[in-house]
Structure 1
Amino acid sequence: MSLDRHTTLDAQLRDAMHADRRITHALAYGSFTQGTADRFSDLEYWLYLAPDAEFDAREWLGKLTPVLHGVVNEFGAFNAVLPGLLRVELHAVPNMQIAGLDDWGNENLFPGRMLIKDSDGRLAAALEKLAAKAPPHAETQATLDRLLNWLAFGLNVLARGERIRAHGLLWWIQGGLLSLAAVDSGQTDSLLNPARLAERRLDADTLRRYAGVTGGVDDLERAYANAVAWTLQLAESLELAVNAELAGALKERARVGISP
């Protein structure tokens, strides 16, 4: 698939970042810097601003490309939708926040592709420090513990009759199961986002099991029953600890709807 449009716009944005004196440091991130982008991928950037700089992300981006829709998302970043549904994400923050890179994960990190502008060397140093960290490891017991909590929560609200709420909670359960299944199958290269390209990375049986924990509000008994069964099987396969009384209670609550 051609990435000519992404490449052209990325070059324009990088030039504009270099030209704007309010932006003291800038980096790109995401699939475009990792070499895994396709024509459906976003372009994503962090812009670090001089102290007290006034900066309107929509206005800045709108001078470079038509913006069909713009919104500040739930994480404080400006998200823009361009013609053809190409998305651009811009984080614009004071440059004192460069230190926040210490908390980033470093899966598929390529500082040379990410670094755009660095007025004093701080950003390059922060990226090199991040790249030197040990890669994320599979915290399987912690993942399982969170998953068991979500299962208990979801099964309780489902039993109460809150089907829409129980359906929403499945999102957390599905994510936990994907993480454990990825570890169980040895696919640990995307621990920070186990759903990314899951169809290419995970085997057919895992994808089938995942499909069994999805569905609509009329499929919740089946989905939760399958989720409990799969969770306990993964815990056994990965030799993780599960309280026996809790396991029994989850199975009892989810006893209906188990698919073969």
Structure 2
Amino acid sequence: MSLHSGGLERHRALDARVRAALRSDTRVTHALAYGSFVQGTADRFSDLEYWAFLHPQAGTFDVRSWLEALTPVQHFVVNEFGTPNAVVPGLLRIELHAVSNTQLADLRHWPGEHIFPDRMLIKDQDGQLLEQLEALEKKGLNPAREAQALLDRTLNWLTFGLNVLARGERIRALELLWWVRANLLRLACLQSGHTAFWLNPSRLAEQRLPPELLERYRRLTVDLDGLEQAYTEALAWTAHLSGALALTTPADLLAELRHAVQKGG
């Protein structure tokens, strides 16, 4: 059966096999699942995502071979963030991190968004993983605490982008605009109260976010010929969100950025 013609049956069946294999593998001391599948927001286009924590003396753990024992693997790559990714029939992606269990303590630095210990926990030989997940669940998120840092990063990317645009590097300026858009989307979600997917605000954005927010975001999605107008819109939205969220923007920097977009336009 094609993945796209049904629901989540294929996901459930493969998830069950992965979980069983993680539990039975003696090299794995702790394991968890994460992402939309355990959040209850998955559809037939969603990924399956896991962490396997290994005994320090486990030796080599070949993720591709391990997955191939469970399902055909059409494509395998370690992505830009160091995560093994597999594509299996039906364009279903699987992410499987495999690291030493000495890294379990690093979980305390994870963001506390969409943490469901009962659904995420797969294997826990000594209770450490459950303890970490329950602490993350209690930790939660505080988007407002991140707002000033997001604005500061946005101002940095705007400065960078406007400088290379003035130099004539339009392709580079277009790439840098991605960072501006990403930060502004998060700030706009905070300002409008739509922070349910704070870590990934573009998820289901068309269904979740108000039309006026989506329209303003659309003005920043341009081709190489529309960069001057896009940067003008981005700066205007940055200034608006800074005021609406009572954030701090250096007045002299804002004045120079406005001069730059006026000169460019």
The TM-score normalised by the length of structure 1 is 0.95
- 1:169 pairs, out of 176, 179, 184, with 176
- Kindly provide the CA deviation profile for residues 184-225 of structure 1, in whole angstroms up to 9, marking residues without a partner as x: 111122221221221122110110000101112222112111
Match of 1:47 in 2: 52
- Kindly provide the CA deviation profile for residues 108-151 of structure 1, in whole angstroms up to 9, marking residues without a partner as x: 11010000011111111111121121423322122111111110
Match of 1:160 in 2: 167
Aligned residues of 1:107 and 1:136 also touching (Cα < 8 A): no
* Amino acid of the structure 1 residue aligned with 2:35: G
CA displacement at 1:239 relative to structure 2:
2.0
CA displacement at 1:257 relative to structure 2:
8.1
CA displacement at 1:255 relative to structure 2:
2.0
Match of 1:221 in 2: 228
- Kindly provide the CA deviation profile for residues 17-76 of structure 1, in whole angstroms up to 9, marking residues without a partner as x: 111111111000000010001111100000011112121000000111111110011221
Match of 1:232 in 2: 239
Aligned: 1:243 with 2:250: yes
Return the alpha-carbon distance in structure 2 between the equivalents of residues 22 and 234 of structure 1: 50
- 1:95 pairs, out of 81, 97, 101, with 101
3-state DSSP of counterpart to 1:108: coil
Please, which runs of 5 or more residues in structure 1 have no aligned partner?
A: none
Aligned residues of 2:232 and 2:261 also touching (Cα < 8 A): yes
Aligned residues of 1:101 and 1:126 also touching (Cα < 8 A): yes
- Kindly provide the CA deviation profile for residues 79-112 of structure 1, in whole angstroms up to 9, marking residues without a partner as x: 0011121100000000111111000011111010
Aligned residues of 2:55 and 2:100 also touching (Cα < 8 A): yes
Aligned residues of 2:113 and 2:140 also touching (Cα < 8 A): no
Match of 1:62 in 2: 68
- 1:196 pairs, out of 197, 203, 212, with 203
Count residues with an aligned counterpart. Answer: 258
3-state DSSP of counterpart to 1:70: strand
Name segments (4+ residues, structure 1) moved above 3 Å.
none
Return the alpha-carbon distance in structure 2 between the equivalents of residues 234 and 108 of structure 1: 26
Aligned: 1:180 with 2:187: yes
CA displacement at 1:229 relative to structure 2:
1.0
Match of 2:3 in 1: none
* Amino acid of the structure 2 residue aligned with 1:232: A
3-state DSSP of counterpart to 1:84: coil
Percent identical: 58
Match of 1:78 in 2: 84
Root-mean-square deviation (Å): 1.4
Match of 1:10 in 2: 15
